Amino acid sequence: MKGRPLLCFTIFWVCGSGMACMLTGWALFWGMVGAVACLPLVLRLLHISVNGWFSILLLAAFIGGVVQWEWNDSHNSSRLPQYLQLSTEVIDGLNAIVEGELASDVRVDGDRASFEIQLSSIMVQEVESQPQVPSPMKDERIIVQVRLMEEQEQRIAAAWKRGDKLTLTGSLALPGEARNFGGFDYRQYLRTQYIHWMFKVKGADLVTAMTPQGWERINILRWTDSARQLLGTAVDRLFPEPHAGYMKGLIIGMAKDIDPGTYGQFSQLGLTHILAISGTHVAVYVASLLMLMSWLRLTRETALTVALILIPAYVLLSGGSPSVIRAGMMSMIGLYMTKRGLARDGLQIISAAALLMMWWNPYFLLNVSFQLSFLVTAGLMIYMPLINRLFSKWPKALAATASVTVTAQLISFPVTILYFNQFSLLSFAANLLLVSLISAVVLPLGTVAMILSFVWFPAAKILAWIAVQLNRITFLTVEWMNSLPGFVMIWASPSLLWITAYYAILYVLLYLLHQGSGGDALHGVKAGEEDTAPLHMDRPMAAATHSLQGQAAALMGPKLGQSSSISHFAGTDSPNIARVHNPMQLSAQHAQPMRTAGTDPSSLATLGASIAWPEYASAFTAKGAGFYSEVQISKGQRWVCGVLAISFVAGLWWVYQTPQPAGTGVVQFLDIGQGDSTLITTPGGKHILVDGGGTINFGGNEASWKTRRDPYEVGAKVVVPLLKKRGIHQLDAVIATHADQDHAGGLQAVLEQIPVKRLMFNGTTSGKEKFDQLLDTATQRQIPLFAIRQGMAYKPDRETTLHFLSPEADGLPDSSGEIPVYENQNAASVVFLLEMAGTSMLFTGDMDAATEQDVLYAIKDGSLAETSMGLRPLSSSHVTIDVLKAAHHGSKTSSSDAWLQYWNAKAALISAGVNNTYGHPNPEVMKRLEQAGSRIYRTDKMGEVQMRVKDGAVEVRYKLVKDEKPIE
């Protein structure tokens, strides 16, 4: 850090913004006090004078980060209530006519078109107190969803362009908030995009679009959209699906066009970074530009200037994601410094890029792409000098790829499990095998084919065919790796403290181990030099490009590294990433610019790569990892290394464990809309999932044009992510109470992505394709199937027992093994009494009143007691339980007076969707529950409801209301 003022300033600024993001009110105040109190210690560790002016500057950076975040966040609110003089509750669902400017590209997916508009006026309807005239608006951006009613409306919506003046008739709606603990908060996500409202339109005929007249700044983005669409169309002509969507994501950053199945396969192996435009693309772009201008005999200064000007165009053309903005800004800064003959330091350059982006939009800090891009780039600069010698005996190209892969995987691992909650042990191998192939061969092939298609389509088609064959190899390899069982590990989201400790321990451990690794010290470096020297200088040109030309040879194939004067990326006798052949003075002196025309094209191309890829050169060239290589590690340092290694492994083991208070059971009633899904975690750490919800298609067999690329499915979008977020490594049991879609539909995704030890169901099938597919999946994955009948019991641990009260034995599979079809699945629902840690809860599925009566008869005549396994004797008059899960979402066909009076539940839980079309829960059922004296919890009002049980006590909390109360 010493001697890198911009790096230190940026870190302190980011820390201030991060603290303001996580804390509010007095917590933020005391957090700042504590941070300021710790500042002298931090400065000492960074070898910065406590009394110097720089310490005051760093303190100002920290406070500046806090102030900027607080100011920006406090001003990030909707203006609609103020303009309309209506409360948020009244505006939600209000019909209105809005006018505005289309402020994004239009995404047409099946029967939906979505885009953003900048409001200019709004006229509300159905509010008597409001005048029926448009209210002028500004500074309000909303997201629009148009439900397309006819197939031809897809073409109409696709014709809308950024900058069009739109008039729309529809209804305002608040974005959905997180309804489960740890669930995705769409409202908060849109807020970080400065969007607070949605506008829903039924039919494209309610949208009027007018092309803008004259010149406006948004025309630049409009032209960019047209250019992206033109390039996307060219790719569609060259490649069949799913290759077309894959190549569009790879070449021009159209990731939304990638087939969801393909994207999911890549995601499981940690390969999605390949599909994002990043520094690799920018480096190839800059290098190609400089080589082209060298062929045109332009001077070096002219070539650098033209490249500097054209980088923003590429950033816009590739979609403008945070990762490509980062790479573009770093390239522009590097080109400018090269043009001026200034020394380049990768960490200083990346700090400048981060600071500029944070100043422009503080919410970049919350963007996953921003976090991964900066962390991995900086991590490659800092950690790779400590790792690359591990592969010094490997072949040079393979060593370079392995060094980059291992470093990138180690750096990205904490962020990966924080947001995606899974990590494949095959990710290292997959990246090692496929990244070079895709980056060095498929990407250039696809890019050349796309460009060539505008000039000579038959030749472009040949290149595309070659790329398709390589893609098939890639897809087969990815599919095969994903088919291997046991390699995907599920991790609960770690804390920020753990992530910080991970990076610190990893760095110190690698640093100490590297001290005793042996080898020559860095050539041309003196012991007294500062560690602030630039990454490389530009005097002479050949020396400047040695490092990255070798790296390009290693990463992108042998063609770039054929010159004997090139020092390869790894495998030299220097422990640094690249050896400096010219022992020039590594100081901040100006390099002498070359002004000759006709500079060697390969030299200019490699210079461009070195500027756009500073992360692949050692950030510590002046005093890199090899500086201390002649120092023998002491016995004390060996002990320290041992302790650090044990701490590192122990930290990984600790964060891998599923979070759970010792000896406490948890019953989590998930809010999955109109359906049921409950996760039971026993005091012994066993996990049982009761139902998985499901998406119901009310339209029956809809027209194919309405089908979306990635249809919403509750199991895949809600249940599975929540299970992973909570670190559920495997489910000891999955219980499908019955075969209806709103209970069993989401279990398909659960069985596909979460290891399951047993599947319990009612022993029948509805005859519907999806439930039969679920049973087939269980059979293929060798998951034992258990047909539940009255009187059975399941005891996952010594404090937990599930006593099954229904269905009766009638209708179970016969000796032939055939599963009978039973249409009335509600009546055949699995009903069980959960006894856990001294508490009792009754789960009822969708049982109807007739089935309730049958169970009561079985209890009162003693037949249930005769067949039950370990169930305590039940009174013939009534019993008292802690929680009753109301049957069938509170439908009037269930929860009869006799049933409620017998169980005498202290609390009742109703799982129902918000504003569902069935009117659940029924008012009569609510009245009966109140008369029974049960405290009512509803997922449609409270979101997820969690009940923690221990020593006979039940504590309840729910997501949408901050309240924790015991059930008495």
Residues 776 and 909 in one domain: yes
Write down the residue that tokens 């901050």 correspond to.
962
Which tens digits make up the pLDDT trace of 653-674? 999 998 887 889 999 999 999 9
Helices (H), 634-740: 635-656, 714, 720-725
At residue 943, the pLDDT reads 95
Domain membership flag for residue 331: no
Whether pLDDT at 895 is above 60: yes
Residues 60 and 99 in one domain: no
Beta bridge partners of 99: 121, 167
What total of structural domains would you count in the chain?
A: 3
Instruction: State the CB neighbour count (10 A cutoff) for residue 44.
Output: 11
> Based on C-alpha coordinates, what's the Rg of the chain?
32
> Which of helix, strand or coil describes residue 165?
strand
Dihedral angle, C-alpha 386, 390, 392, 396, nearest 10 °:
-90
Pick the more confident residue, 727 or 48: 727
Domain membership flag for residue 428: no
Contact between 869 and 793 (Cβ < 8 Å): yes
Whether pLDDT at 529 is above 70: no
At residue 699, the pLDDT reads 56
Q: Which of 213, 244, 271 is the last residue of a domain?
A: 213
Written as six digits, the tokens of 776 are: 């087939």
Q: Which of 54, 74, 94 is the last residue of a domain?
A: 74
Domain membership flag for residue 263: no
Q: How far apart are CA 959 and CA 945, in angstroms?
A: 7
Q: How far apart are CA 197 and CA 179, in angstroms?
A: 18
Which tens digits make up the pLDDT trace of 138-183? 779 999 999 999 999 999 999 999 999 999 999 999 999 999 999 9
Pick the more confident residue, 18 or 813: 18
Whether pLDDT at 705 is above 60: yes
At residue 127, the pLDDT reads 62
Contact between 130 and 86 (Cβ < 8 Å): yes
Residues 863 and 790 in one domain: yes
Q: Kindly list the distances between the CA atom of residue 918 and the CA atoms of 747, 828, 910, in Å, as whole numbers in the listed order.
A: 23, 21, 14
At residue 103, the pLDDT reads 94
Q: How far apart are CA 117 and CA 634, in angstroms?
A: 64
Q: How far apart are CA 140 and CA 583, in angstroms?
A: 58
- Domain with 682, as residue range(s), is 665-695+711-966
Domain membership flag for residue 447: no
Of the pLDDT bands very low, low, confident and very high (cuts 50, 70, 90), residue 816 is low
Domain membership flag for residue 646: no
Of the pLDDT bands very low, low, confident and very high (cuts 50, 70, 90), residue 544 is very low
Of the pLDDT bands very low, low, confident and very high (cuts 50, 70, 90), residue 474 is very high
Domain membership flag for residue 197: yes
Helices (H), 819-882: 849-860, 863-867
Domain membership flag for residue 595: no
Q: Which of 48, 74, 100 is the last residue of a domain?
A: 74
At residue 47, the pLDDT reads 74
pTM of the model: 0.86
Residues 828 and 856 in one domain: yes
At residue 869, the pLDDT reads 60
Closest CA to 548 of 598, 603, 482: 603
DSSP 8-state assignment for residue 718: I
Return the amino acid letter for 910.
I
Residues 864 and 959 in one domain: yes
Q: How far apart are CA 20 and CA 27, in angstroms?
A: 10
Q: Kindly list the distances between the CA atom of residue 84 and the CA atoms of 81, 90, 142, 470, in Å, as whole numbers in the listed order.
A: 5, 10, 15, 57
Which tens digits make up the pLDDT trace of 45-84? 777 776 778 888 999 999 999 999 999 999 999 999 988 8
At residue 567, the pLDDT reads 32
Instruction: State the CB neighbour count (10 A cutoff) for residue 351.
Output: 23
Q: How far apart are CA 640 and CA 646, in angstroms?
A: 10
Among 396-400, 570-574, 948-952, top mean pLDDT goes to 948-952
Whether pLDDT at 598 is above 70: no
Residues 51 and 160 in one domain: no
Residues 859 and 783 in one domain: yes
pLDDT, average across residues 858-868: 73
CATH number at residue 814: 3.60.15.10
Contact between 749 and 712 (Cβ < 8 Å): no
Residues 68 and 195 in one domain: no
Say how many CA atoms lie within 13 Å of 946 toward its Cβ: 18
Residues 141 and 43 in one domain: no
Q: Kindly list the distances between the CA atom of residue 673 and the CA atoms of 633, 676, 926, 940, in Å, as whole numbers in the listed order.
A: 60, 8, 19, 7
- Least confident window among 211-215, 505-509, 586-590: 586-590
Whether pLDDT at 597 is above 60: no
CATH number at residue 183: 2.40.50.140
Q: How far apart are CA 661 and CA 685, in angstroms?
A: 10
Q: Mean pLDDT across the chain, nearest whole number? A: 84
Instruction: State the CB neighbour count (10 A cutoff) for residue 527.
Output: 7
Residues 960 and 882 in one domain: yes
Whether pLDDT at 586 is above 50: no
Domain membership flag for residue 537: no
At residue 375, the pLDDT reads 94
Contact between 339 and 607 (Cβ < 8 Å): no
Q: How far apart are CA 59 and CA 599, in angstroms?
A: 47
Contact between 168 and 144 (Cβ < 8 Å): yes
Whether pLDDT at 739 is above 60: yes
Q: How far apart are CA 192 and CA 141, in angstroms?
A: 12
pLDDT, average across residues 670-699: 91
Helices (H), 781-879: 849-860, 863-867
Residues 11 and 128 in one domain: no
Residues 766 and 789 in one domain: yes
Written as six digits, the tokens of 792 are: 């059975």
